[in-house]
């Protein structure tokens, strides 16, 4: 009929462009979400595809899936270790940085544990497979990261509830906006355009994506740093922690006694008393004796023949070393043997620093002191200082006596100390702090820490600890360095800030977008929003939220 202007109101191109923009937005979402799982992909790519096993003294290359527990595997320099196992032949250095974050290679000898996917650097070793398939450390890490990325944090559940009601609310708003313009005299086409534009621009996707994408990136970033969050909830709660309880042995300290000092009298040299004491302790299984033997080995001391060995529990040990009587023990043993103690003041000084002095007597003459201590990890003091700078109260909990506990606490800057505590009472101490309305994290590595780890709001296990401690924890630090604890708190805070940013912009976008789509600008003489532009804006809102989440990957922790 010659009314050509009606062509502009058929909206064929609008339908095509809207669908194209929505699909493009979804496509870009999938690509961006895929990038949040890069940590999993990297871990999967680390695993070797084959292993070289020894069958009837012949090397045989088999697929990694065919390796069985008990198989003898050979790994050459430069190769990745295929599965977890125990070294039975050879020595080497292994790069475990992808698991622990520690750049210094770890020495491996007969009896050492090797972990699949780590790199054998410079020696040929044979080891017996102890864990294969889904039981390996790497498989467990991948499982933990996947579960954490798929779990919902409390803030994510809140966003889901909001998104659920959001759709109904938007439909109602779109109807009200369209009907309002129609009632006030606009055409049906105009009112329908308003209705469609409001529906198209409103984006529950942005709300729905705001939290899970940040959680996925945060847990992936944690995995790269050797921090394994078992759930999104653990990642979220970590930022609220106000008090951290640190177990002393194996957490603040190395957990293995070491010789720290040797003090001699004028009658003997340091080499002489070390040789006598280590020879005497060679047959002992006492931890302090083992520390002396280990130290002597590093000094290339030659062990002498011993006989007439007598162990005196709680006091020390007596025996003949190369036909010379040697006594090694505490002050009580010296009194029993009627040996004059001329080093009592020096011994007390060492004790005040949390160290254990042992007297060495050779042929009834006091030869000197060998001092042993569970030394503090090199980075413990720095880590505790940084935790305090983050506004966190740090408490040390230990079964040691007050003097030893205070000495260790003082050396790392901890003043709040719970000492002489029985293992079964650690959980009660956690509960007491929780009753003060504080979010508490417990950090430990041993069997005696498991109840406290379970009781705490966040249980953090040191990766070098035993399985039950790791099972009881919410977060696992693959490396025993407490600096990772600082990284854990920082990463949690950055992730939660990222989630809040995403939610804020998602709400702001939808609020402003709906107002403009409803004709607010048009009401004051501005343009009417085209549904095609609304579709593009909707797609961009989702992408912007995802891109903001991906910023976490590049953030410094």
Nearest-CA neighbor of 117 among 47, 51, 52, 49? 47
Number of helices followed by number of strands (H, E) in the chain: 20, 22
Are β-strands 258-264 and 365-373 bridged in parallel, bridged antiparallel, or unpaired?
Answer: antiparallel
Quick check: helix, strand or coil at residue 358? strand
Question: Which strand (E) or helix (H) includes residue 388?
Answer: helix 380-389
Quick check: helix, strand or coil at residue 318? strand
Task: Check: CB of residue 538 under 8 Å from CB of residue 25.
Answer: yes
Task: Check: CB of residue 441 under 8 Å from CB of residue 238.
Answer: yes
Annotation marks residue 247 as catalytic: yes
Say how far apart CA 444 and CA 244 lie, in whole Å. 11
Catalytic residue among 247, 374, 419, 445: 247
User: How buried is 345 (Cβ within 10 angstroms: 0-12 exposed, 13-18 middle, 19+ buried)?
Assistant: exposed
Say how far apart CA 82 and CA 133 lie, in whole Å. 10
Tokens for 331, please give them: 């002050």
Say how far apart CA 272 and CA 362 lie, in whole Å. 10
Q: How many CB atoms neighbour CB 105 within 10 A?
A: 17
Say how far apart CA 403 and CA 357 lie, in whole Å. 14
Q: Which residues are catalytic?
A: 247
């Amino acid at each position: 009929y010659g009314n050509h202007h009606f062509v502009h109101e058929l909206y064929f191109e609008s339908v095509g462009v809207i669908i194209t923009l929505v699909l493009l937005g979804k496509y870009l979402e999938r690509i961006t979400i895929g990038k949040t799982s890069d940590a999993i992909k990297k871990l999967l790519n680390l695993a070797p595809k084959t292993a070289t096993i020894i069958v009837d003294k012949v090397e045989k290359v088999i697929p990694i899936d065919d390796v069985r527990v008990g198989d003898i595997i050979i790994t050459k320099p430069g190769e990745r270790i295929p599965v977890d196992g125990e070294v039975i032949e050879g020595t080497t250095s292994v790069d475990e940085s992808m698991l622990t974050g520690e750049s210094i290679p770890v020495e491996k000898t007969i009896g050492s544990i090797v972990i699949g996917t780590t790199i054998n650097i410079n020696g040929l070793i044979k080891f017996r497979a102890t864990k294969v398939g889904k039981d390996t450390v790497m498989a467990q890490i991948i499982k933990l990261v996947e579960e954490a990325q798929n779990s919902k944090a409390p803030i994510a559940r809140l966003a889901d509830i909001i998104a659920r009601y959001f759709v109904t609310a938007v439909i109602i708003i779109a109807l009200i906006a369209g009907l309002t313009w129609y009632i006030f005299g606009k055409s049906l086409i105009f009112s329908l355009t308003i209705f469609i534009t409001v529906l198209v621009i409103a984006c529950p996707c942005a709300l729905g994506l705001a939290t899970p994408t940040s959680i996925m990136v945060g847990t992936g970033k944690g995995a790269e740093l050797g921090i394994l969050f078992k759930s999104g909830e653990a990642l979220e709660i970590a930022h609220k922690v106000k008090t951290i309880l640190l177990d002393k042995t194996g957490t603040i300290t190395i957990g293995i006694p070491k010789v720290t000092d040797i003090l001699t009298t004028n009658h003997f040299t340091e080499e002489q008393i070390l040789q006598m004491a280590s020879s005497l302790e060679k047959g002992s299984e006492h931890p302090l004796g083992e520390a002396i033997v280990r130290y002597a080995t590093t000094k290339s001391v030659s062990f002498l023949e011993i006989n007439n060995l007598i162990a005196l529990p709680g006091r020390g040990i007596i025996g003949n070393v190369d036909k010379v009587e040697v006594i090694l023990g505490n002050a009580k043993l010296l009194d029993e043997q009627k040996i004059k103690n001329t080093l009592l003041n020096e011994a007390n000084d060492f004790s005040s620093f949390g160290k254990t002095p042992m007297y060495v007597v050779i042929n009834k003459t006091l030869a000197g002191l060998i001092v042993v201590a569970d030394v503090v990890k090199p980075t413990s003091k720095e880590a505790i200082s940084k935790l305090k700078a983050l506004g966190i109260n740090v408490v040390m909990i230990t079964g040691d006596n007050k003097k030893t506990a205070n000495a260790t606490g003082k050396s790392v800057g901890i003043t709040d100390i719970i000492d002489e505590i029985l293992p079964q009472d650690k959980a009660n101490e956690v509960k007491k702090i929780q009753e003060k309305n504080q979010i508490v994290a417990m950090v430990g590595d041993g069997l005696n820490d498991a109840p406290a780890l379970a009781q705490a709001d966040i249980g953090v296990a040191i990766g070098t600890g035993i399985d039950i401690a790791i099972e009881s924890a919410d977060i696992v630090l693959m490396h025993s360095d407490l600096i990772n604890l600082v990284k854990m708190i920082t990463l949690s805070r950055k992730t939660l800030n990222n989630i809040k940013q995403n939610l804020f912009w998602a709400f702001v976008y939808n609020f402003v977008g709906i107002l403009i789509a409803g004709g607010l600008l048009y009401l004051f003489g501005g343009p009417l929003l085209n549904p095609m532009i609304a579709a593009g804006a909707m797609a961009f809102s989702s992408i912007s939220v995802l891109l903001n989440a991906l910023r976490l990957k590049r953030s410094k922790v």
